[in-house]
Amino acid sequence: MQREPRNSLGAAPHPPPNPSHMNTTTPRLLLLAHGSRQPEWARPFEAVLAAVRASRPELRVELAYLESMQPSLAQALLEAGAAGCTQLHLVPLFLGAGGHLQRDIPQAVRDAHLRHPQLTVRVAAAAGDSPDIVAALAAYALRCAQG
């Protein structure tokens, strides 16, 4: 008996958007988080996933992890390539660009490209490099200081 896949909270994963709106040339968006052994750790990332899907229902958006959680980055890239995807935008939801962005992510992209040469992956900068994210974190810190 095969079990239905579950997300980090034990719930069935968010269903992908209606596939009739998508084809292999429709770009995909892959959000990437670090991962943790603690399932509740993923809640904020799953909230980001849900918000992006709600804003852009025509866009195929997935969430993957580098460590300890599923799907892994490698799995997500290989699935996209196997489905015939030609363009994938990978957004690392990291505050800084450390070793994962410098080594691990590029290696996973190279490995996926070897198996699926049609797949072009554009890797965004770490989320923490965005002035919008910096401003949101600063505003949050200031709200915390008020009280």
Domain tally for the chain? 1
Grouped pLDDT means (10 residues each) for the chain, 147 residues:
42 46 75 96 98 96 97 98 97 92 95 97 97 97 93
pLDDT given for residue 24 in this prediction: 63
Does residue 56 form part of some domain?
yes
pLDDT given for residue 101 in this prediction: 87
pLDDT given for residue 20 in this prediction: 42
CA dist., res. 116 & res. 98, Å (int):
27
Does residue 74 form part of some domain?
yes
Write the CATH number for 128. 3.40.50.1400
Residue 65 is part of which domain span? 20-145
Q: Is the whole model's pTM more than 0.85, yes or no?
A: no
pLDDT given for residue 23 in this prediction: 56
Give the CA angle between residues 49, 100, 52 to the nearest 5°.
Answer: 10
Give the C-alpha distances (Å, rounded to integers) separating 99 from 106, 126, 129. Answer: 10, 12, 15
